[in-house]
Amino acid sequence: MAFEQCNRLRSLFSGFNKPWFIAGGWAIDLFVGEETREHKDIEIAIFRNDQIILKEHLQDWKFKKVCTGEFQIWRDELLELPVHEVHAVNKKNGDHLEILLNESNENHWIFRRDLRISYPVHLLFRYTENSIPFLSPEIVLLYKAKNTREKDHQDFMRVKDLLDEDQKLWLKKALELHAPEHKWLQHLQRKG
């Protein structure tokens, strides 16, 4: 079944009353509407303020935080920057999940790598026809701009012409601030 992993997450997060959304390469595929490549993992994003509620929701899971590239047990402490990545394993079935903590204020998502860059929270994520939430592709691409791998470039090339003008303009401005030499900027120039 297409997007089987994503559908399982939708079930897992039923009853979680805070925003969550699929991130990374899966978000790109959900935006495109088809699985375009193999994915080694699945990532979800939540707002940092909701981390303890998430941990309570996933009671059958073990959690490790990533601190300077190393896994450490995440007990009950509130995770602050620079910690932004948590890995979880279901104690019953062994399922793995990567959780990315996102910065926000009341109305805006804030890019943790460059606090000058923000985005309205109400536009941050979208839904598939069967209600799977995913991170908007322009945000995913901004994250993928750091240490761009071949699969990241392929994701960009796959969606760049599907972005509307507002999405392209926002991504262009964000890249000009954060990665002014990035090769994707040449593809985001206005035509005509």
User: Where in the chain are the domains?
Assistant: 4-136
Buried-exposed string 135-156: b where 16+ CB fall within 10 A, e elsewhere: bbbbbbbbbbbeebeebbeebb
pTM attached to this predicted model:
0.91
Report the C-alpha gap between 188 and 176 in whole angstroms.
11
Tell me if 138 sits within 8 A of 110, measured CB to CB: no
Report the C-alpha gap between 51 and 76 in whole angstroms.
10
Q: Which of 21, 141, 27, 48 is nearest to 102 (CA)?
A: 48
DSSP strand pairing (118-120 vs 125-127)? unpaired
Residue 39, pLDDT score: 84
User: pLDDT (tens digit, 9 = 90+) per residue, 13-26?
Assistant: 999 999 999 999 99
Instruction: Tell me the pLDDT band of 35, cut-offs 50, 70 and 90.
Output: confident
Tell me if 170 sits within 8 A of 136, measured CB to CB: no
Residue 56, pLDDT score: 94
Report the C-alpha gap between 125 and 20 in whole angstroms.
9
Mean pLDDT (whole number) for 146-173: 94
Tell me if 134 sits within 8 A of 147, measured CB to CB: no
Q: Read off φ and ψ for residue 95, nearest 5 degrees.
A: -60, 145
Check whether domain 4-136 has CATH 3.40.50.10320, yes or no: no
DSSP category for residue 73: E
For residue 68, pLDDT over 70 is answered with yes
